[in-house]
Amino acid sequence: MVHHLSEKHSLISNWIAELRDVTIQNDRMRFRRNLERIGEVAAYEMSKLMPSKIQATKTPLGIHESKVLAEQPVLATILRAGLPLHQGMLNYFDKADNAFISAYRKHHDNGSFEISIEYLSCPDLNNRIVIVSDPMLATGASLIQTIHALTKVYKPKELHIVVAIASKQGIEKVEAALGKEIPIWCGDIDDTLNDKSYIIPGLGDAGDLAYGTKMQS
C-alpha cells in the first residue's frame, strides 16, 4: 500500500523541491533538515493509523481521558544516508526503540553491484511495529535485503517503509518481494532509473549530499 505524501501540495512538496535543487544541495545542514522534516511528517501521518488506548491523565484540576499510542514502534534505518530521515521520525516517536543496519552497494569492476549487509544492531523485534527508513527507494534491493535480514531473526507484527523519494520500479520490486500490503510512505515518486540504478530525476546521492563524498568500494 503506497502513501504518496506529496500527491496533494503541502509543505512537504517545498522541502522535496529543495532536496532536488542543485543550487541548494550544497547546504548540507539544510539538506539534512529537509530529510528530517519529511521524516517528521511521515511519523505524524503514520501515527493516525497506529493502535491507541485511553489513558487517565491527571491535570491540576482533574482527570482527562487521553488517547495515546498503545505501544511504541521500533525505528530502523540503513546507515549512513538514512540517519536524517530517521532522526525526523525519532523527533516525533520520541520514546521509540531504535535499530541500525549497515547496507551498501558493493561495486564490481564491470560496473555492476550487489547489496552487502555488514552490521545489524537492534532490540527484540518480535511482535513489534517496525518502521524502516531509507531516503531513496531506487531498485529496492537494499530495503528488501534489510527487511529479509530482520525477519530472518525476528517476527515483527507489522512493517512500514518510509522513503523521501521512490522510483516506480523500486516500489514494484518491493511489493513483489514483500507483498502489496506492506505500507510504503513516500515523500515523492519518480518514473525511472538510469543505467547506474539512480532515480531520475531524483536528487543524486543522498548520503554524499548529507555527509560528504565517500570512497567507493
**What CATH architecture is 2-211?**
3-Layer(aba) Sandwich (3.40)
Where do the DSSP E strands lie in the chain? 2-4, 52-59, 62-69, 74-79, 97-107, 113-121, 129-133, 136-137, 158-167, 184-190, 192-193, 199-200
Are the C-beta atoms of residues 84 and 35 closer than 8 Å to each other?
Answer: yes
**Dist. CA 37–CA 52, nearest whole Å:** 24
- Domain ranges for the chain, please list them: 2-211
Per-residue confidence in pLDDT tens, the chain, 217 aa: 999 999 999 999 999 999 999 999 989 999 999 999 999 999 999 999 999 999 999 999 999 999 999 999 999 999 888 999 999 999 999 999 999 998 665 655 565 556 677 778 899 999 999 999 999 999 998 899 899 989 999 999 999 999 999 999 999 999 999 999 999 999 999 999 998 889 999 999 998 999 988 766 5
Q: What is the pLDDT of residue 54?
A: 98
pLDDT reported for residue 4: 97
At 104 the pLDDT is: 63
Would you state the pLDDT for residue 79? 85
Contacts of 85 (CB under 8 A, 6+ apart): 35, 36, 38, 39, 77, 133, 134, 135, 162, 163, 164
- Close Cβ partners of 7 (under 8 Å, ≥ 6 residues apart): none
Q: What is the pLDDT of residue 84?
A: 96
Quote the CA–CA distance of 184 and 171 in Å, as a whole number: 8
Cell 497506529: give the residue: 50
Cell of 32: 539534512
**CA 19 – CA 209 distance, rounded (Å):** 9
Give the DSSP per-residue string, 61-93.
TEEEEEEEESS--EEEEEETTTHHHHHHHHHHS
- Phi/psi for 54 (5° steps) reads -95, 130
- pLDDT at residue 119, rounded to an integer: 79
Q: 62-69 and 74-79 as β-strands: parallel, antiparallel, unpaired?
A: unpaired
